């Protein structure tokens, strides 16, 4: 068993460092895992292995200075294989990746003698791989044979032996604590069970789990002390004893808030997930820290026990000190866009993310193009009136001049929504609007009040540039009021969503699809003000057709709008590198006069392609679209430049 004393030294990633010694006549082995190391990232491990291989070449050749053995090929060409691990393909591949014989095979060796030394050293590497997976009785031999004048064969012969499983697993606290969880609960938290493969990585992971468990059950200073493991050769089991220092038992005391915090103290206290006197729980502290960070109002958030208070007032209650660095609260920004049907456009905004000290997000925005001018003011209040609720108020002034109609309107809205689990959000609003609409079909002066309701779910990986997952929404709401002095009432219902499939990699080739359906329920089309009817077409609808140009028309050919809408889009997005991409797309849209599809109108289909530049603020898209069933008045193509994906 002398080889066991040599090969248990630090290994990257999954490998461990036990040391073995004989234990009396029962042939048991005492394993001390002290110094056991697991690398945090496979990439760092690979870099270390390459560096190790480079150093080995320098040692074998004795070359120093700028002309090193890394420059050019070595004279001895060889092949290498591992025999005896056919039933352990995973371990065999790890062994190949971690040994210099395989790493440097394409480069060759400086001499046969140097290759023999390299192979002998690599037997220890292979032994460490096997021991890390629980094969503590493994043996490995190397053999270097000249197979021809220009070729040498290196063969490693491995006998893994039996795989050890965990026997008795014991968790001990030193010093003992009356408030500590019982040993069985600690052992269950660690996750080691009799019969499991005795992998070193599992031992280290279990120790981290026990420390976390203790810190979540009243012991914020818990730490791992040492481990003892006895390998029983007669039944190939490993008995493990883990020893931890729990530290002092603690309960939550007062929270001392940084006086420089931009958030009001009572708002911060509303985010605290514990009450004074509760058993200390590090998970709750981490959750509280994450909640503060998610507001976007702080560059850094630090929560630590107040040591001074602990020294002055010894006892189980532990005061916490919250210190923060405030982020910028105000910002200005904007964007430019261009499309052939509406011309150039500019959007500018001013934002205050903490208007009254309770994370209120106020935004004033102006959006101006040749055909549309819009000014809006919005205020969002998170955690109001309750923890999971958000309240929003907005006021929007709009002026629109296009082929469908001319509009001047003002709309006020007060809404509330609640975030639920698994990406669900439910909400509603009270909306009031006054508008003057002039069109070739009719002129409307309307005063309406509505109660739009919605439910949506978002399960995408990125809200701005999704590459996998899905999202969908449902909406419904009654509207009532006066139109040209006559009472009107109608309801709007609909829904839609989008889905994203990564075809190659995480975002190299993505298939994206979108659909939306809407219906306006009313006795007659004339009951609905023109600006509340459905129109389709444009860069955010059916590309290739002018904005709001897809609509039923009257006998004179004037666009009247409709009560049923269906839009569909399909995009194939391919990304090159980190900053560039191309897309191919097809859009289709239909608007019917009736509130349900009767197919009196044709689907209008646009196809095209585009270019994407993935900027730090989101993708910038350049799309060129062509209408397939071109009508009188439709352009040969439409071109769009804007910020963000089409959907």
Residue 573 pLDDT exceeds 50: yes
pLDDT, one tens digit per residue, over 136-163 is: 999 999 999 987 767 899 999 999 999 9
Model pLDDT, residue 633: 87
Distances (CA, A) of 156 to 121, 252, 541: 11, 58, 64
Model pLDDT, residue 315: 65
| Cis preceding linkage at 51, omega within 30 | no
CB 368 within 8 A of CB 353: no
pLDDT, one tens digit per residue, over 198-235 is: 998 999 999 999 999 999 999 999 999 999 989 899 89
Higher pLDDT, 506 or 166: 166
Chain-centroid distance of CA 277 in Å reads 35
pLDDT, one tens digit per residue, over 587-617 is: 999 999 999 999 889 999 999 999 999 998 8
Model pLDDT, residue 96: 95
pLDDT, one tens digit per residue, over 436-474 is: 999 888 899 999 999 999 999 999 998 888 999 999 999
Helix (H, G, I), strand (E, B) or coil at 289: helix
CA geometry: angle 463, 604, 556, nearest 5 deg: 125
| Band of residue 618 on the pLDDT scale cut at 50, 70, 90 | confident
Edge-first strand order for the sheet with 139-148 is: 78-83, 151-159, 139-148
DSSP 175: S
Nearest to 416 by CA among 449, 394, 443: 394
| Band of residue 577 on the pLDDT scale cut at 50, 70, 90 | confident
Output the average pLDDT for the chain: 87
Residue 45 pLDDT exceeds 50: no
Higher pLDDT, 394 or 2: 394
| Cis preceding linkage at 175, omega within 30 | yes
């Amino acid at each position: 068993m002398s080889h066991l004393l040599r090969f248990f030294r630090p290994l990257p990633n999954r490998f461990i460092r036990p040391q073995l010694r004989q234990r009396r006549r029962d042939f048991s082995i005492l394993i001390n895992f002290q110094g056991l190391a697991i690398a945090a990232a496979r990439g760092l491990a690979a870099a270390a292995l390459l560096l190790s291989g480079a150093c080995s070449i320098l040692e074998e050749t004795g070359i120093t200075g700028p002309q090193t053995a890394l420059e050019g090929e070595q004279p001895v060409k060889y092949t290498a294989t591992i025999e005896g691990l056919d039933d352990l393909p995973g371990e065999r591949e790890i062994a190949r990746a971690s040994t210099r014989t395989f790493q440097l095979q394409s480069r060759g060796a400086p001499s046969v003698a140097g290759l023999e030394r390299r192979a002998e050293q690599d037997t220890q590497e292979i032994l460490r791989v096997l021991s890390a997976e629980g094969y503590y009785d493994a043996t490995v031999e190397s053999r270097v044979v000249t197979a021809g004048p220009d070729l040498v064969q290196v063969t490693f012969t491995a006998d893994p032996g039996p795989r050890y499983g965990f026997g008795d697993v014991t968790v001990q606290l030193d010093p003992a604590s009356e408030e500590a969880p019982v040993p069985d609960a600690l052992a269950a938290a660690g996750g080691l069970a009799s019969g499991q493969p005795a992998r070193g990585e599992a031992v280290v992971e279990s120790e981290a789990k026990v420390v976390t468990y203790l810190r979540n059950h009243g012991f914020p200073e818990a730490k791992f002390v040492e481990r003892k493991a006895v390998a029983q050769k007669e039944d190939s089991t490993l008995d493990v004893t883990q020893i931890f220092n729990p530290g002092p038992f603690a309960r939550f005391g007062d929270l001392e808030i940084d006086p420089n915090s931009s958030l009001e103290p009572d708002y911060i206290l509303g985010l605290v997930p514990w009450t004074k006197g509760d058993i200390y729980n590090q998970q709750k502290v981490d959750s509280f820290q994450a909640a503060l960070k998610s507001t976007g109002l702080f560059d850094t958030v630090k929560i630590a026990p107040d040591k001074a208070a602990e020294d002055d007032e010894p006892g189980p209650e532990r005061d916490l000190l919250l210190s923060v660095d405030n982020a910028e609260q105000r910002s200005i920004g904007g964007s430019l866009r261009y499309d052939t049907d509406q011309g150039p456009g500019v959007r500018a905004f001013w934002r205050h993310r903490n208007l009254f000290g309770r994370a209120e997000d106020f935004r004033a925005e102006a959006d101006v193009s040749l055909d549309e001018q819009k000014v809006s003011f919005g205020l969002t209040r998170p955690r109001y009136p309750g923890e999971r609720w958000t309240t929003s108020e907005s006021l929007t002034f709009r002026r629109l001049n296009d082929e469908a109609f001319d509009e001047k309107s003002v709309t006020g809205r007060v809404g509330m929504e609640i975030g639920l689990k698994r990406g669900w959000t439910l909400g509603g609003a009270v909306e009031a609007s006054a508008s003057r609409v002039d069109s070739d079909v009719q002129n409307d002066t309307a005063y309406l009040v509505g109660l739009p309701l919605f439910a949506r779910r978002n399960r995408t990986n990125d809200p701005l540039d999704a590459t996998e997952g899905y999202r969908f929404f449902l909406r419904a709401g009654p509207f009532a009021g006066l139109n040209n002095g006559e009472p009107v009432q109608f309801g709007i219902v609909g829904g839609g969503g989008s889905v994203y499939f990564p075809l190659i990699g995480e975002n190299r080739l993505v298939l994206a699809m979108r659909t939306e359906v809407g219906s306006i329920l009313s006795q007659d089309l004339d009951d609905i003000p023109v600006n509340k009817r459905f129109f389709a077409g444009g860069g955010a609808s059916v590309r290739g057709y002018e904005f709001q140009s897809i609509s039923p028309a009257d006998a004179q050919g004037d666009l009247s709008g409709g009560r049923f809408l269906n839009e569909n889009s399909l995009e194939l997005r391919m990304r090159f590198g980190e900053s560039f991409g191309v897309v191919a797309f097809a859009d289709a849209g239909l608007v019917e006069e009736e509130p349900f599809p009767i197919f009196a109108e044709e689907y209008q289909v646009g196809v095209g392609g585009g270019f994407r530049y993935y900027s730090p603020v989101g993708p910038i898209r350049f799309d060129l679209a062509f209408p397939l069933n071109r009508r009188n008045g439709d352009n040969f193509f439409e071109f769009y430049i804007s910020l963000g994906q089409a959907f």
